[in-house]
Amino acid sequence: GQQVMQIPQYQHVQEGEDFTTYCNSSTTLSNIQWYKQRPGGHPVFLIQLVKSGEVKKQKRLTFQFGEAKKNSSLHITATQTTDVGTYFCAGNYGGSQGNLIFGKGTKLSVKP
């Protein structure tokens, strides 16, 4: 069935270091969304990528969608303690009426 794989499961970094999480699907996605969940909180929408090869930036966060629309990545430059949380990618296979299939997430911890 449709499945979204996400790696790594955990990432521990020193404040100021960069961080990247990767997402992969075996089948082509309509679009992909990224969410952040703080400890004890709920997922919060960050961004949606739709086009093949799309790159979007939000301050220190860079999101990429692969050319084949099967993989995506989130890169954080110079992490801060406020970046702590779990980052989820969520793939949509069904267009505007589709629902999201979430990856297992990458839990980021940042050491000050």
Residues that bind another protein (CB under 8 A): 6, 31, 33, 35, 41-48, 88, 90, 96-97, 99-105
Min dist. Cβ of residue 59 to another protein (A): 17
Integer CA distances (angstroms), 103 to 23, 26, 82, 94, in order: 7, 13, 22, 16
**Which one, 12 or 14, has the nearer CB to another protein?**
12
What is the DSSP-derived secondary structure letter of residue 98? -
Which two tokens mark 17?
């270091």
H helical segments located in 1-112: none
**Which one, 20 or 30, has the nearer CB to another protein?**
30
By residue count, the chain amounts to 112
**Which one, 79 or 92, has the nearer CB to another protein?**
92
Write out the H or E segment, with its range, that includes residue 55.
strand 55-58
Min dist. Cβ of residue 101 to another protein (A): 7
Min dist. Cβ of residue 84 to another protein (A): 16
**Which one, 13 or 100, has the nearer CB to another protein?**
100
